[in-house]
């Protein structure tokens, strides 16, 4: 499963059983850490998730700022709540790429806002499934 963290919305994506194809799954609205972690743990159980990758919002220079620290903390909380291993992947430009893909499919602005985070999570997961690097914090 991939998690695209945000201050307001958190996108989730899962893969098929063969771990070949990622699929946008769900967008969660953040209303507090406990509710968010409960919702993520529920998806982990329902989808029989075996590992989690969290998008790490690095700066364009590659440096880690406060957003990356917040994503790392979320990853630690997910690991604690689910008992799963959590890795991190560079998420620079995934939101823009998701927006571009959805624009290409003629999605409305409202639909792009609603689905963008889970589409970005699917792009993160597809990169990892394709052999992209998983980073340690």
Q: Is pLDDT above 80 for 43?
A: yes
Model confidence at 60, in pLDDT bands (50, 70, 90)?
A: confident
pLDDT tens per residue across span 91-128? 866 666 656 665 666 766 665 566 668 888 998 999 89
Instruction: Return d(Cα 24, Cα 79) in angstroms, integer.
Output: 21
pLDDT for residue 112: 53
pLDDT digits (tens, 9 = 90+) for 46-58: 999 999 999 998 8
Structure confidence at residue 102 (pLDDT): 53
Domains of the chain listed by start with CATH number = 2-129 (3.30.420.140)
Structure tokens at 88: 């991190």
Give the whole-number percent of the chain exceeding pLDDT 70: 81
Supply angle C-alpha 91, 107, 25, rounded to 5: 50
Average of per-residue pLDDT across 45-70 = 89
d(CA 28, CA 34): 13
Could you tell me the pTM of the whole model? 0.82
Distance from C-alpha of 3 to C-alpha of 88, rounded to nearest angstrom:
9
Least confident of 29-33, 66-70, 97-101: 97-101
């Amino acid at each position: 499963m991939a998690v695209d963290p945000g201050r307001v919305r958190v996108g989730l994506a899962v893969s098929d059983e063969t771990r070949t194809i990622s699929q946008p799954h769900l967008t969660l609205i953040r209303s507090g850490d406990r509710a968010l972690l409960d919702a993520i743990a529920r998806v982990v159980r329902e989808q029989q998730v075996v590992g989690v990758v969290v998008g790490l919002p690095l700066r364009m220079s590659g440096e880690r700022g406060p957003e990356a620290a917040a994503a790392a903390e979320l990853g630690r909380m997910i690991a604690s709540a689910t008992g799963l291993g959590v890795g991190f992947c560079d998420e620079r430009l995934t939101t823009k790429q998701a927006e571009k893909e959805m624009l290409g499919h003629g999605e409305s602005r409202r639909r792009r806002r609603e689905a963008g985070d889970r589409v970005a999570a699917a792009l993160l997961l597809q990169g990892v499934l394709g052999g992209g690097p998983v980073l340690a914090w």
